[in-house]
Structure 1
Amino acid sequence: MRLYIPENLDVDQLMYDNPPNFKKYGCKRDKLLYIIHLINALPLYNKDLMFDGFVPLNSKLLQDKISNYREYIDYLLLDLKIIETDGQYIPGFKSKGYRLVDEYNTAITSTAVTDFTFYRKLKVERNNREASVKHLDYLTKWFNDKLEIDINYVNEFLAQEFELKDNNEQLKDYDRSRKKFKEPISQLNHAKISAEKISREEYYLLHDDNVYRFHSNLTNMRSVIRNAVTYDGQKLISIDIKNSQPYLSTILLSRSFWIEQKNEPNAPKELSITFDKPKKSLFSSFNNINDNIYKVSGRINDRLNISHIKIHDTDSYIMLGDIDKALMSSEFSQYINLVVSGTLYEFLEQQFSLRLGETFANRKEVKTAVFQVLFTDNRFLGQEDAKPKKMFKEMFPYVYEVFRQLKRKDKTLLPRLLQSIESYLMINVIAKRISEEYPDAPIFTIHDSISTTEEYVDVVEAIMKEELSKAIGHAPKLAREVWCKSNMVKHLETLKEKAKVVA
């Protein structure tokens, strides 16, 4: 077990020059480094922290490992002046955030935990993660010594990328929804941590109890870095669901999804949502579109149902509202057709441009705008930045109303429901079936995609298409991507070209 700290940090010298004066338990070097490590490592598992600058440190989690953690925080903050705080604490909502001061906001290195007692405390957390994935052996077994990463190539790539971005503000990655840039040094460090962990076979495997996603070293890794990963010396090929969240959202427009299947025969319980009547759809001219689009593939009994999905224990079906029996409409079919054809993002990008004058640098920015439409709080509709959301409401008022009703009590319910659907299908249905029919096929799930070797890519794609078609009611658009180092070369070449343009 290793800790990741700034490479220019000589903690022994600092402690020698400014000795700690702890009252009761004393100051342990590894515990001090562990707190610094958390500031570097936690953003790897929560991408939002890459934008916030300050990393919240939960007092309860710290207390479990360091009983006098407050003394360590004060020592780092006030005496050694290695970290600084935002001072923002909201009981039950937000812990105080911390970040390294500029002097130590540098490239990182790793050091081993040498305190055996503290190592055992850290191991408890690892054991809990291992327990969460014990039932997913058909996924976890592939995280072995055959999973490799060219760590030297990655480090060389990261050094070149950092030099380009650090010397040119125009090359920094910008997030439209947060209106913030990612810091190149943070991207460098998080990529180094994720790559080194695979290189050392320090696997982070977790099945979360919120939306039941399977998290691993690969899900936490930047996509461009995955190109340096191989299995048993073979390239991996990912098969992705295009427009995955909109694609999965179409099942929410089907009445059959909301009929809870009971154990007792002939006793379904239908859940319904009461609609506010929206304005006439701009797509009313599409009335001739087949309302029975859900019958294109699979029997009705094969269709995914709310009963299959694990919602967090605090959620109840009644929170999902009541869906009206007049659910199907031509407008639903228009939305579904755009999604199924894989053209929703392109269509909305065109509409954003024509109606709002919005332009996008790449597909990722379009996706961010669509996610704003789907997942922001209902109250966001009144904000100046909500023009794309307002436009979507005008174009698809009934579709918008379904999503609005789902979020009326909790804005996170819609994304959590879609992620739970994704997890159920990808892990419990598709990956499970692959493991049973092709037990020698290496499979690595990355939320809405599965990666495998060239030998098995055709059968994996066929199973994905068949199971998704049955569950959702229509076939998905799938896309393949080969993980190879040439993609990393292209990435650097693109940055160099951009650097020339803005020079």
Structure 2
Amino acid sequence: MDIDQLTHENPPCFKKYKFKRDMALYIINLINALPLFNKDLMFEGFVPLNSKLLQDKIANYKEYLNYLEHELKIIECDNQYIPGFKSKGYRLTEQYRTEIKSQSVVDFTFGRKLKFERNKRAASVAHLEYLTKWFNPKLEIDLDFVNAFLREEYQLKRYNQALWDYDRNRKKFKEPMMQFNHAKISAEKIDRQDYYLLHDENVYRFHSNLTNMRSIIRNAVTYDGQKLISIDIKNSQPYLSTILLSRSFWIEQKFGAKNEESLSISFDEPQRVTNKGFNDFKRLNYESERGFDERLNISQIKIHENDSYIMLGDIDKSLMNSEFSNYINLVVNGGLYEFLEEEFKINLGEVFSNRKDVKAAVFQVLFTDNRFFGQDEARPKKLFQELFPYVYEVFKQIKSKDKSLLPRLLQSIESYLMIDVIAKRISIEYPEAPIYTIHDSIATTEEYVDIVQQIMSEELSKAIGHPPKLAREEWSKRNMIKYLSGLKESSKIAV
């Protein structure tokens, strides 16, 4: 795409504001870049462009959209707009669905607007210096290796849909060129130290270039020339969900004090563990010895203020005394997915090709709307209710007013434990240990991997009441080579 040649041949006729090429390229960039921050968009084809997002940068954004779509025919629209729910979606026309190339912003005024946005993100992570400081020039990626990998992967997938990534719940594929550009953008940003760091205001996750990157591409990332090793919580969402089955979690309390009469959420400013120093952890242990329950409590979790109308005190107190041991034992022992996979096969005739598909089915069971229960696709959900009726009822009541509350509550718990407790403790006790949180995992160098795993195990056991299953994964370019070899073998079978 030569935007200068295209606009020369078909000059824009804007009414009030002068046309600026940077603004046109920014809109095209959003179509390519937004899937970087919401990977679900890679299954959709069309990328929704929020009017407020555009208006903040481009006053006459509608003129640009019209010009790009109808005059230059660079983009096309799905024309699907639902007020307050869905923005119109856009994608590049087929001619321009090719490998992206980076261009610099040259307009000073527009550059200032983009800088203002970067400053807002920087402000959101100002209190997380113990995480952000590791995004420095020592964090490197082998860009040449990544680009060669991506081109080979694309050539293998391009004309062989059997190799495309498929989402069972959406019944949609990831388009290989969009996947290619997504990975290329994320790799180039690390290579030029263009770091995207954000602490979101929804579930308080820490987003970074690494969280937004395809997991296979992380294998080309090193720190100070050293390989990185990630430590993951296996079955993290089911594991964290076990704390929701504890009555003590729902009892509103101030730190170190119980109120057995109340079973509700406090939406006031939460009583968070500050961890200003190692003395905080000694204090926690001291209070535990005196009989305080160390498990996580709802009062410690920061809930988004928009959820203040949702009171979970409606959960039946007698329900919290029900029998949950079968579900908890399966989760804690790491066997829930395997158990459900076998049950789905025996009772529903559903066979899964890989663990990723089993996980997607379990997420459908846990996180879809209660009203989804009546649909034919909800057979796994109905079976889960038969197998774990009381567990299902707790999750159902949590989602009774808002289907998204259960996944957001679990993500808020995850964020609190991984960022505010575990990563902060590591930074205090081992300030020289590089740490990169990737939602339910932490990556570090080989020197510190044993220490990080020990702290993760201690703090999660304390907070959830059960020890986690942790798994290590070494980031190595060998994994990328092995992945390509698997694709080549699969392509022979598919042909």
TM over 0.5: yes
CA deviations 1:451-482 (Å, max 9, x no partner) are 00000000000000000000000100000000
Alpha-carbon distance in structure 2 between the residues aligned to 1:220 and 1:155: 17
Which residue identity is paired with 2:350?
Answer: E
Task: Give the CA deviation at 1:330.
Answer: 6.7
Moved more, 166-175 or 214-223: 166-175
- Indicate if the aligned counterparts of 2:251 and 2:259 stay in contact, CA closer than 8 A: no
* Structure 1 gaps, min length 5: 1-8, 274-295
Q: Report whether the alignment pairs 1:132 with 2:124.
A: yes
SS of the aligned residue for 2:154 comes to helix
- How do 1:391-470 residues align onto structure 2 when only pairs under 5 Å count? 391-470=383-462
In structure 1, the partner of 2:280 is none
CA deviations 1:20-75 (Å, max 9, x no partner) are 11111110011110000000100110111111111111111211111111111111
Alpha-carbon distance in structure 2 between the residues aligned to 1:136 and 1:298: 32
In structure 1, the partner of 2:374 is 382
In structure 2, the partner of 1:194 is 186
- Indicate if the aligned counterparts of 1:262 and 1:269 stay in contact, CA closer than 8 A: no
Distance 1:270 1:351, change over 3 A: same
Match of 1:351 among 343, 354, 363: 343
Task: Give the CA deviation at 1:94.
Answer: 1.4
In structure 2, the partner of 1:108 is 100
Match of 2:5 among 13, 34, 45: 13
Task: Give the CA deviation at 1:322.
Answer: 2.4
Which residue identity is paired with 1:49?
Answer: L
Alpha-carbon distance in structure 2 between the residues aligned to 1:318 and 1:78: 45
Alpha-carbon distance in structure 1 between the residues aligned to 2:464 and 2:458: 10
SS of the aligned residue for 1:302 comes to coil
Task: Give the CA deviation at 1:316.
Answer: 2.8
Q: Report whether the alignment pairs 1:271 with 2:260.
A: no
Q: Report whether the alignment pairs 1:121 with 2:113.
A: yes
- How do 1:169-318 residues align onto structure 2 when only pairs under 5 Å count? 169-262=161-254, 267=259, 270-271=262-263, 300-316=292-308, 318=310
In structure 2, the partner of 1:281 is none
Task: Give the CA deviation at 1:219.
Answer: 0.2
**Structure 1 length normalisation: TM-score?**
0.92
Task: Give the CA deviation at 1:262.
Answer: 3.3
Task: Give the CA deviation at 1:299.
Answer: 6.2
Task: Give the CA deviation at 1:272.
Answer: 6.1
- Indicate if the aligned counterparts of 1:297 and 1:473 stay in contact, CA closer than 8 A: no
CA deviations 1:391-435 (Å, max 9, x no partner) are 000110100000000001100000000000000000000000000
SS of the aligned residue for 2:314 comes to coil
In structure 2, the partner of 1:6 is none
In structure 2, the partner of 1:369 is 361
- Indicate if the aligned counterparts of 1:39 and 1:99 stay in contact, CA closer than 8 A: yes
In structure 2, the partner of 1:280 is none
Alpha-carbon distance in structure 1 between the residues aligned to 2:381 and 2:319: 21
- Indicate if the aligned counterparts of 1:242 and 1:479 stay in contact, CA closer than 8 A: yes
Alpha-carbon distance in structure 1 between the residues aligned to 2:461 and 2:353: 33
Which residue identity is paired with 1:316?
Answer: S
CA deviations 1:341-379 (Å, max 9, x no partner) are 001001100111111111111100000000000000001
- Indicate if the aligned counterparts of 1:203 and 1:217 stay in contact, CA closer than 8 A: yes
In structure 2, the partner of 1:154 is 146
Alpha-carbon distance in structure 2 between the residues aligned to 1:24 and 1:328: 63
- Indicate if the aligned counterparts of 2:227 and 2:445 stay in contact, CA closer than 8 A: yes
In structure 2, the partner of 1:3 is none
Which residue identity is paired with 2:181?
Answer: N
Alpha-carbon distance in structure 2 between the residues aligned to 1:271 and 1:327: 12
SS of the aligned residue for 1:301 comes to coil
Alpha-carbon distance in structure 1 between the residues aligned to 2:252 and 2:310: 12
Alpha-carbon distance in structure 2 between the residues aligned to 1:262 and 1:216: 33
- Indicate if the aligned counterparts of 1:255 and 1:327 stay in contact, CA closer than 8 A: no
Which residue identity is paired with 1:131?
Answer: A
Moved more, 439-448 or 317-326: 317-326
Tell me the matched-pair count: 473
Distance 1:297 1:358, change over 3 A: farther
CA deviations 1:251-292 (Å, max 9, x no partner) are 00000000011379564552169xxxxxxxxxxxxxxxxxxx
Distance 1:269 1:16, change over 3 A: farther
Which residue identity is paired with 1:33?
Answer: L
* Structure 2 gaps, min length 5: 266-287
- Indicate if the aligned counterparts of 1:319 and 1:409 stay in contact, CA closer than 8 A: no
RMSD: 1.7
Alpha-carbon distance in structure 1 between the residues aligned to 2:440 and 2:386: 29
Alpha-carbon distance in structure 2 between the residues aligned to 1:330 and 1:268: 17
- Indicate if the aligned counterparts of 1:133 and 1:205 stay in contact, CA closer than 8 A: yes
In structure 1, the partner of 2:58 is 66
- Indicate if the aligned counterparts of 2:231 and 2:442 stay in contact, CA closer than 8 A: yes
Distance 1:406 1:55, change over 3 A: same
Alpha-carbon distance in structure 2 between the residues aligned to 1:266 and 1:35: 53
Task: Give the CA deviation at 1:331.
Answer: 3.8
- Indicate if the aligned counterparts of 1:225 and 1:488 stay in contact, CA closer than 8 A: yes
Alpha-carbon distance in structure 2 between the residues aligned to 1:181 and 1:60: 29
- Indicate if the aligned counterparts of 2:264 and 2:311 stay in contact, CA closer than 8 A: no
- Indicate if the aligned counterparts of 1:205 and 1:217 stay in contact, CA closer than 8 A: yes
- How do 1:468-483 residues align onto structure 2 when only pairs under 5 Å count? 468-483=460-475
Which residue identity is paired with 2:92?
Answer: L
Task: Give the CA deviation at 1:502.
Answer: 1.6
Match of 1:337 among 321, 326, 329: 329
SS of the aligned residue for 2:394 comes to helix
Alpha-carbon distance in structure 2 between the residues aligned to 1:299 and 1:166: 61
Which residue identity is paired with 2:209?
Answer: N
Distance 1:78 1:268, change over 3 A: same
